[in-house]
Amino acid sequence: MMSDQAIQTVVVATISPWRLWWRKFFIRLKAWEYWPLQVFSIPIIFIWLWNAIKARDLFFIIRANPGIPNGGFFGSSKSDILATLPGDFTPKSILMTGDMPVHRIDFQLKEAGISFPVIAKPEIGERGWLIAKLHTLNELVGYLQAHPIAFIIQSYIDLPLELGIFVYRMPDGSDATVSSICEKRFLQVCGDGQSTLGTLILRQDRAVLQYEKLREVFADRWNGILAPGEVIVLENIGNHCRGTMFLNRNDQIDEAITDRMIALLKTMPDVYYGRFDLRTASWEALRAGRDTCILEFNGTNSDVSHIFQPGYSLWRAYRDIAFHWDKMQAIASKNRENGHESASFKEIISALIIYFRYKRTNR
């Protein structure tokens, strides 16, 4: 017969859909970092339009990074971008699709020297869309078959510190800097020897916003009690929309990190603005240029991720965004002087339609 304590634990570890909806509503209401992207982006539209007026080009964002299709704002090839970076700083990667036979997938992994676990991410995509950590060949094959699009399969980089480092440089060399560093803390819980996993999840606002997914993934452990100090990482993909905590580490910006990141940016032809997402062994390793791996580079669609630090002022967040859009506009205007052409309105709209159609049919 179940004890009173156990019965109470199971009750605490469940929540009705109605209570869950209200809980999520109030979590988002009290902390803007959880606002839906469509709501948060409303003022950014006006920042965009103001800079478009100054640049005399609605799509100046394309011209900020002429070396990346659409400036890296949407529809860019992750593998093509990674290929412009030094191989010593990128993970082993190959392209795969779900129509490949199992033996061919296995052969290509072995030929590339990639072992499990692996990270699968869409060749074209953003904001954590369809990114997964997979542990076996069967998992990988099933995932590719469930999503019949091109995926980059990367070696999983097991380094402890994951960062997003924002870098920009003017085409004429007048300005080049690291303007933002964000440290990523994966969604996790720590046991106390008394509470179940489900209870610990329901105590944490960040985890509650991922409740449905976590309830499914950890169904077999939901009512198990975690030992004191036992840590379970609930989500190992470092995206804010998947529960990762973003921390402002601009205090770490110095000459050594700036020189390293600007040097990497300069290896990318006609690319001037964006964010490197990377893993490194430590801050010292990053400064020394060792034990560091670039997971991907995001162009003009990049967030300055430090603004999502819990408690960061909303006014400061929009101020920081406006500063970076102004820099993007200045880069685009300088590239215009240097003869780089922007895309036409028709070309951009056609590309957007194709891209949205691609996203809608591959959920």
31-90+158-186+236-340 and 92-156: same fold? no
Domain residue spans of the chain: 4-30+187-235, 31-90+158-186+236-340, 92-156
pLDDT value of residue 83 = 84
Spatial neighbors of 348 by CB under 8 A, at least 6 apart, are 59, 62, 70
pLDDT value of residue 351 = 64
- The SS3 call for residue 296 is strand
Give pLDDT < 70 ranges for the chain: 1-13, 75, 128, 342-347, 349-363
Closest CA to 182 of 279, 305, 301: 305
Residue 52, sorted as left (phi over 0), alpha (psi -120 to 50) or beta, turns out to be alpha
Which amino acid type is present at position 88? D
pLDDT value of residue 271 = 94
What are the tens digits of pLDDT across the range 142-165? Answer: 888 888 888 889 999 999 999 999
pLDDT value of residue 344 = 65
Domain 31-90+158-186+236-340, CATH:
3.30.470
Residue 192: count of CB within 10 angstroms of its CB: 14
Give me the half-sphere count of Cα atoms (radius 13 Å) on the Cβ side of residue 20: 16
Spatial neighbors of 271 by CB under 8 A, at least 6 apart, are 65, 67, 68, 72, 84, 265, 297, 299
Q: How far apart are CA 125 and CA 356, in angstroms?
A: 11
Is residue 273 within a helix (H) or strand (E), and if so which, with residue range? Answer: strand 273-280
| DSSP 8-state code for residue 224 | P
CB 195 within 8 A of CB 221: no
Bridge partners, 273 (sequence order)? 168
Give me the half-sphere count of Cα atoms (radius 13 Å) on the Cβ side of residue 291: 14
Residue 132's Cβ-count burial label (10 Å; 0-12, 13-18, 19+) is middle
What are the tens digits of pLDDT across the range 223-241? Answer: 999 999 999 999 888 888 8
CATH topology of domain 92-156: Dna Ligase; domain 1 (3.30.1490)
Spatial neighbors of 33 by CB under 8 A, at least 6 apart, are 240, 246, 308, 310, 312
pLDDT value of residue 11 = 46
